[in-house]
A and B are shown apart, each in its own frame.
Chain A
């Protein structure tokens, strides 16, 4: 069964450093998403991406965040200058043909900012 994959599974970084989280969405999916879950809190929407541009973003997704689809398979989330409060699980998701279709989640990347 096709699945969303994410790398790395765990990333440790120093405050102020840049990190790139990588995702490979399901191959025939056209809509891509990033969510995050701070420990003990809700899963929160960050951004959605379609046709090589951001289609929606939350207030969390400020200028320190960016997303990119550098090739036909990868989808990345970059955090330019990490803060302690960026420590969280980051989940990538993808959906098939409609922005209202089911979203399938990857296993997540645990980001720890020291």
Chain B
């Protein structure tokens, strides 16, 4: 089983839709969970950072962590064409390295 699994998509939605992005993981040591956004040929840009289980909201973005199911989600409300990018989940725990998912490519169509 891979340490972090993420459906690569691609995912295409109309403008204004609610987007749900998900990752599963196998390593129980993970305690810190992040979502990064990556535009083509650019560096990952941090969107959300969550410690342990629970929800965190920032504007149109909501991150959820369910440690009992080893499942994390990112929701984007009122999606915009500018949200079109690849979204990477990343996790950390027990060491300082980030372990990334493969990324989900999202396109929001006007």
Contacts and interface: CB of A to CB of B under 8 A. Distances in A.
Interface of A: 4, 6, 31, 33, 35, 41-45, 48, 55-56, 58, 89, 91, 99-100, 102-108, 110
Interface string B96-107: 111111110000
Interface stretch (B39-47, B57-65, B74-82): B39-47
Query: Majority SS of interface residues in chain A?
Result: strand
Interface of B: 32, 34, 36, 41-46, 49, 88, 90, 92, 95-103
Contacts, number: 53
Contacts of B102: 41-42
B103 A42 contact: yes
A44 B100 contact: yes
19 contacts: A6-B43, A42-B102, A43-B44, A43-B90, A43-B100, A45-B98, A45-B99, A48-B96, A55-B96, A56-B95, A56-B97, A91-B43, A99-B96, A100-B96, A103-B98, A105-B43, A105-B44, A105-B45, A105-B46
